[in-house]
């Protein structure tokens, strides 16, 4: 092979081929001390550094990145731990409540006190007369009206987060001097749709679709099981009525 041919062959090698070769042969530089000493890389400071210095720099960056990720994971774990404790306290108070008013007061106090949110609302859907209803966080509404005002928000079982329309926020949180700007809502379902549980913030954008809703769903699952029998005990005329599926 002539020198010219060898030069042409070398020029045909691509950066990707060289990189793939080094990946497949990570010990290539073990016996290449002279080559290692001759290799230099540009640095942010403007001076040239050796390959070994570059590796050390990359390892340090990787270490710092992993350290930041670990700190973030620990912070998230602590936050989830606090949310779990707050949720547990709330659910214990809800379970021990003797009346709908006691339950509504426990929810309102916990959401605004423990969780630091601006409002909580439990809407019960029934055509029957419920004794002592519509106090504090508890509101009794007709199923037809609920479907007309909330529409697609009642579909599905998962939490829906966002700013919602002004009419929807007013329906969920009536008689407020300071309007709610951001809402997280979960339909309450037993054998049927019995209502909704909603929490609100006066801060726009506080709740968005990217937020996790594990603890909100956890609370709503418990309410879905506790509310129907309690409503029946407080119903003067008839139990919670079955809601017919309506088309928007």
pLDDT at 10 over 60: no
pLDDT at 238 over 80: no
pLDDT for the residue 82: 85
pLDDT in tens, 166-186: 889 889 988 788 889 889 999
Cα dihedral across residues 6, 7, 13, 18: positive or negative: positive
pLDDT at 224 over 70: yes
pLDDT (mean) for 149-165: 84
Check if the beta carbon of residue 191 is closer than 8 Å to that of residue 199. no
More confident of the two residues 6 and 232: 232
pLDDT at 2 over 70: no
Residue 137 binned pLDDT confidence (cut-offs 50, 70, 90): confident
Residue 168 to residue 245: CA distance in whole angstroms:
20
pLDDT in tens, 90-103: 888 888 888 888 88
pLDDT for the residue 154: 86
Could you give the percent of the chain with pLDDT greater than 70? Answer: 77
pLDDT (mean) for 134-154: 84
More confident of the two residues 228 and 88: 88
pLDDT (mean) for 136-145: 84
Let me know if domain 99-234 sits in CATH 3.40.50.2300: no
pLDDT at 132 over 80: no
Residue 238 to residue 245: CA distance in whole angstroms:
20
| Nearest alpha-carbon partner for 223 in 109, 95, 129 | 95
pLDDT at 239 over 50: no
pLDDT for the residue 133: 58
3-state secondary structure 183-206: EEEEEEECCCEEEEEEEEECCCCC
Check if the beta carbon of residue 231 is closer than 8 Å to that of residue 130. yes
Q: What are the residue ranges spanned by the domains of the chain?
A: 29-96, 99-234
Residue 233 to residue 240: CA distance in whole angstroms:
10
pLDDT for the residue 237: 40
For residue 140 the two structure tokens come to 């009794």
- Cα distance between the two ends of the chain: 80
pLDDT for the residue 68: 92
pLDDT, averaged across the chain: 78
């Amino acid at each position: 092979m002539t020198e010219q041919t060898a030069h042409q062959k070398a020029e045909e090698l691509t950066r990707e081929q060289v990189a793939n070769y080094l990946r497949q042969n990570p010990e290539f530089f073990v016996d290449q001390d002279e080559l290692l000493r001759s290799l230099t890389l540009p640095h942010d400071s403007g001076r040239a550094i050796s390959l070994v210095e570059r590796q050390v720099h990359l390892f340090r960056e990787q270490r710092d990145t992993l350290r930041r990720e670990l700190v973030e994971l620990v912070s998230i774990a602590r936050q989830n731990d606090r949310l779990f404790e707050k949720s547990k306290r709330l659910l214990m108070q809800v379970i021990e409540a003797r009346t709908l008013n006691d339950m509504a007061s426990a929810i309102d106090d916990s959401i605004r006190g423990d969780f630091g949110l601006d409002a909580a609302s439990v809407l019960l859907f029934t055509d029957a007369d419920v004794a002592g209803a519509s106090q504090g966080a508890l509101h009794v509404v007709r199923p037809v009206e609920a479907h007309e005002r909330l529409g697609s928000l009642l579909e599905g079982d998962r939490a829906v987060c966002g700013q919602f329309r002004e009419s929807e926020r007013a329906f969920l949180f009536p008689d407020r001097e300071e309007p709610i700007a951001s809402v997280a809502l979960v339909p309450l379902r037993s054998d049927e749709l019995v209502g909704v549980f909603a929490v609100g913030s006066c801060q726009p954008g506080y709740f968005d679709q990217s937020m996790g809703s594990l603890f909100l769903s956890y609370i709503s699952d418990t309410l879905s099981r506790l509310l129907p029998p309690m409503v029946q005990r407080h119903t003067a005329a008839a139990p919670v009525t079955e809601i017919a599926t309506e088309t928007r």
